Each structure stands twice: as C-alpha cells, then as structure tokens.
C-alpha cells in the first residue's frame, strides 16, 4: 500500500482525484490521509465522495473512510471494466471534476464506459463543462484519447440539476508535443431562467473586446430554462480556454469582458497550453510515457499532479523555466 499525504501541494481535491485515478490504473492499494486538512471545512465533501464512489464502481474497489468530513481513506482497486450507469452528485458539485477523476481510468477499461451525471456544469473553482469538452478533450484527442461528452442540461450553483452524458472507449495513449497554433476563437455564452439579453450581452462584450484586438471570434448564444438560475461564458482556441460566471450585481458586459481579457492574456503569452490544461495533461503524459508543452504559469495543481504521477507511475518530469514561460516534458 502506498501512503499519500493529502495536504501536499495544493492540498485539496486535486491530489485525491489524481491518486484515485492512478491507483485504479496501476491496481495499487493506497491510503490518503490529511485530506483537505487546511481547508475551512476539512475532509471529504459530497462531490469528492461521489468521485471516489464512481471510480470504485469502475473497478470494484473496496473503500474505507468514505463519509462527509473524513480525512483518511483507503482504496483497494481491481480490474477496470466497461459499465453503463448514472451518477447523481446530489448538489451543484462539479461534473467536470468528477469526470477528471475517472477519465484517465477509461483508457484502460475492458470495454466502453457510458455515464449520465447530474450536478453542476458551470460552477466556481472548476473547469466549465464547455472547457472540458472543447479544450481538455480536444488536447487529449491528440494523444489518442477517445471520448464524447454531451451537455443535456445546464446546472449552476446552488441548485445544480445539470445533466451530462459521457461515453469513453479504451485507448492506447501516445506522447504529443503541444505547440502554439493560431485559430479563430470560439465560445458559448449561456444563461438559464434569466432575461434573454443577459447571454447576448455577455457574448457581445466579449466579441467587441476580442475584435478590437484584431482577434476573430465566433460565440454561440444559448438561452435555457432549466432547474437552476445562472449564466456564464466559455471561450477557447486550440489548447487554451477562458471562462467567467455571472454573479448577482455583476453586469453581463463585465462577465464577457473578463473571459475575453483572460483569453487575450493567454494568447499574448505565446505558450501552447493554458495553466488549467497544463495540470490536466500531466496524468496523461505520465500514462503515455512522453509528450511536452509550454505554459505561462506552473500552478500548485500542476506540481501536485507531477508529484503524484511520479510516485505512482515510477517516472520523472522535466521542468525548464525559460524567461516568461515554462516547458514541461516527460524525461
């Protein structure tokens, strides 16, 4: 059994998700302690429990310590199998973060994995479902990954109620050298249970800011009437993305401008992937045994994923700081 200190690095849910995924793939028993020990509400929350439970169902794992507030769990996986089932996070917990935990496992499954997940599609402190679909999955496709994600309903904090259908095929990953490419920016501006002009103003403000910088863009407006109330916008171009969520008393124009400004900063950096994709790629590069990218910032999430991937996969990453960007590759 490998013992992992859950307070290492970013000390949150990321270390938990990566460790569970790689333990399942390598059929390694793990114990994770000090889970989220430095957070205002330490231990497991509902969305962490659902992620671990979903992973356990894929590989018939035995889990102890799986309850709200637990700071110490053990996880003993078996073979990853093809399954079809539904997952209800039960809150507006992030569907994207749950998928982050189980997506690496699907590469090594014995058959297709089909899931229908209910929770939050666009919530704070997590990748939006549009980012996961149009940035993460596109990048992973370059490494041989095979998945399809369909947004059935939007879900915002606090009601949730979003629904996503995802299917995955076993794959053989290979290394890929990510390089910066110029591409038209695409995006989705969306809202639910709000006046139609909210999503339209978000899109218009983002478009104006981008086009004033000479950047071509194509932003789709999506207006819905789902269980929860909210709005947001996600932009993407090749292996970079940006998003911003609507908030009470925050003008729709500001939401669009914040996402566009974030996108412009990433494009101006000249790097091949944004900092959020960087941390997600680490696990797959470790599994593929190769690959490289440049990024403008190495986050604690990225360093945490490197630490856990090296620990469980027995390999090393090379981090080279060069002026205003960093190149990360598999040694």
Per-residue pLDDT tens listing for the chain (331 residues)? 999 999 998 899 999 999 999 999 999 999 999 999 999 999 999 999 999 999 999 999 999 999 999 999 999 999 999 999 999 998 899 999 999 999 999 999 999 999 999 999 999 999 999 999 999 999 999 999 999 999 999 999 999 999 999 999 999 999 999 999 878 999 999 999 999 999 999 999 999 999 999 999 999 999 999 999 999 999 999 999 999 999 999 999 999 999 999 999 999 999 999 999 999 999 999 999 999 999 999 999 999 999 999 999 999 999 999 888 999 999 9
Residue tagged active-site, from 48, 190, 301, 307 = 301
Residue 192 is predicted with a pLDDT of 97
What is the C-alpha separation between 261 and 165, in angstroms, rounded?
A: 31
Count of domains in the chain?
A: 2
**Would you say 19 is a known binding-site residue?**
no
Instruction: Examine the fold and report which residue of 246, 268, 290 is the final residue of a domain before the chain moves on.
Output: 268
Please check whether residues 31 and 108 belong to one and the same domain. yes
**Would you say 279 is a known binding-site residue?**
yes
Please check whether residues 171 and 235 belong to one and the same domain. no
Please check whether residues 160 and 193 belong to one and the same domain. no
Please check whether residues 40 and 141 belong to one and the same domain. yes
Residue 159 is predicted with a pLDDT of 94
Kindly report the pTM of this predicted structure. Answer: 0.96
**Would you say 235 is a known binding-site residue?**
no
**Would you say 200 is a known binding-site residue?**
no
Please check whether residues 259 and 110 belong to one and the same domain. no
3-state secondary structure the chain: CEEEECCCCCCCHHHHHHHHHHHHHHCCCEEEECCCCCCCCCCCCHHHHHHHHHHHHHHCCEEECCCCCCCEEEEECCCCCCCEEEEECCCCCEHHHHHHHHHHHHCCCCCCEEEEEEEECCCCCCCCHHHHHHHHHHHHHCCCCCEEEEEEECCECCCECEEEEEEECCCCCCCCECCCCCCCEEEEEEEECCCHHHHHHHHHHHHHHHHHCCCCEEEEEEEECCCCCEEEEEEEECCEEEEEECCCCCCHHHHHHHHHHHHHHHHHHCCCCCHHHHHHHHHHHHHHCCCEEEECCCCHHHHHHHHHHHHHHCCCEEEEEECCEEEEEEC
Whether 301 is catalytic: yes
**Would you say 47 is a known binding-site residue?**
no
Residue 206 is predicted with a pLDDT of 98
What domain range is 91 assigned to?
2-177+273-330
Classify residue 251 by burial, with Cβ atoms within 10 Å: 0-12, 13-18, 19+: middle
Residue 179 is predicted with a pLDDT of 95
Please check whether residues 157 and 298 belong to one and the same domain. yes
Please check whether residues 234 and 278 belong to one and the same domain. no
What is the C-alpha separation between 330 and 303, in angstroms, rounded?
A: 14
Residue 91 is predicted with a pLDDT of 85
Looking up residue 68, the CATH number of its domain turns out to be 3.65.10.20
Instruction: Examine the fold and report which residue of 234, 249, 268 is the final residue of a domain before the chain moves on.
Output: 268
Please check whether residues 281 and 153 belong to one and the same domain. yes
């Amino acid at each position: 059994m490998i013992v992992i200190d859950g307070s290492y690095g970013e000390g949150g849910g990321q270390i938990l998700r990566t460790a569970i995924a790689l333990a399942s793939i390598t059929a390694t028993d793990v114990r994770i302690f000090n889970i989220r020990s430095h957070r205002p509400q330490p231990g497991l929350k509902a969305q962490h429990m659902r992620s671990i439970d979903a992973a356990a169902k894929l590989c018939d794992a035995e889990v102890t310590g799986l309850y709200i507030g637990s700071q110490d769990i053990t996880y003993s996986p078996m073979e990853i199998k093809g399954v079809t089932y539904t997952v209800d996070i039960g809150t507006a917990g992030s569907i994207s973060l749950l998928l982050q935990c189980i997506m690496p496992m699907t590469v090594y499954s014995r058959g297709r994995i089909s899931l229908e997940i209910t929770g939050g599609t666009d919530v704070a402190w997590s990748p939006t479902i549009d980012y996961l679909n149009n940035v993460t999955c596109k990048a992973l496709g370059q490494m041989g990954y095979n998945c399809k994600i369909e947004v059935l309903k939007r879900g915002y904090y606090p009601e949730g109620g979003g629904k996503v259908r995802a299917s995955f095929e076993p794959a053989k990953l290979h290394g890929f050298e990510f390089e910066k490419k110029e591409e038209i920016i695409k995006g989705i501006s969306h809202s639910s249970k709000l006046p139609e002009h909210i999503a339209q103003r978000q899109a218009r403000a983002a478009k104006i800011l981008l086009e004033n910088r000479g950047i071509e863009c194509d932003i789709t407006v999506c207006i819905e009437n789902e269980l929860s109330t909210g709005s947001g916008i996600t932009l993407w171009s090749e292996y970079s993305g940006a998003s911003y969520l609507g908030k009470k008393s925050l003008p729709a124009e500001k939401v669009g401008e914040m996402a566009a400004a974030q996108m412009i900063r990433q494009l101006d950096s000249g790097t091949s992937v944004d900092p959020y994709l960087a941390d997600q790629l680490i696990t797959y590069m470790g599994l593929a045994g190769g690959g490289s990218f440049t990024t403008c910032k190495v986050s604690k999430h990225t360093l945490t994923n490197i630490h856990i991937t090296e620990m469980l996969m027995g390999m090393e990453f090379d981090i080279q700081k060069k002026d205003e960007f960093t190149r990360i590759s598999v040694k």
